[in-house]
Amino acid sequence: MPHIDLPAFGVAIDQAIGLAREQVFRLETLQAYDETDDPDALAAYEAVDRDDLREARMIQERVIVSDGVHARIRERGLKFRRVRLVRRPFSEYLWYEFAIWKVNQKHGEEILIVEEKDLDVLRHHEFLHDFILVDERLALFNEYRGRIFSGGDLSEDPHTLRDCALLRDGLLWIGTPLNDFLAKEEKPGWWRKD
């Protein structure tokens, strides 16, 4: 698998979206990510920390519009699905993500939540790692230095793509849509100000 740095990873995602025919799938497994290298994400996180959910969502809206990924996916008629693996108790970072993802959903992203305790029903769950799968043609595996995204690896290997697709399908099968998941959860105090 060729390793690529962060700027090349972004280019690879853009190119992959341009070639996609059906869907873009994203799996996120860490319970928190370090946002200090991304000024917009850090500002949104700090807004939530100040109990300003409206500002956090406005920043997220600006990020989604400016990077254009969601728009390109929508224009091409592709599905954009994200599965977020979570562990209880939820970190403050997870609550932040849950809060701002209303914006992502508005832009056509389908977000499902899978709790770690539910993974035993899946084969291939030992393969869990953050990745993006474009159709079943290209997998992009995220790499981190600590919790900071730093680039990753690309794979077009048929066996790797098959394993990623099997994992994707299993996660989509056991995942709970974000809104359904949140409807059953006790929200933090700042959330109720929304």
Rounded distance, CA 78 to CA 75, Å?
A: 8
Rounded distance, CA 139 to CA 190, Å?
A: 37
Q: For the whole model, what pTM was predicted?
A: 0.87
Rounded distance, CA 44 to CA 48, Å?
A: 6
183 inside domain: yes
By residue range, what is the domain housing residue 17? 3-187
28 inside domain: yes
131 inside domain: yes
Looking at per-residue confidence, does 187 or 25 come out higher?
25
82 inside domain: yes
194 inside domain: no
192 inside domain: no
What is the model's pLDDT at position 170?
A: 92
Domain count, the chain: 1
**Residue labelled with tokens 């305790």:** 117
Looking at per-residue confidence, does 124 or 120 come out higher?
120
Tokens coding 174: 């056991």
Rounded distance, CA 7 to CA 52, Å?
A: 31
Average pLDDT over residues 35-58: 70
Q: What are phi and psi of 144, to 5 degrees?
A: -130, 150
Tell me the sheet residues that pair with 5.
151
CATH number at residue 76: 3.30.870.10
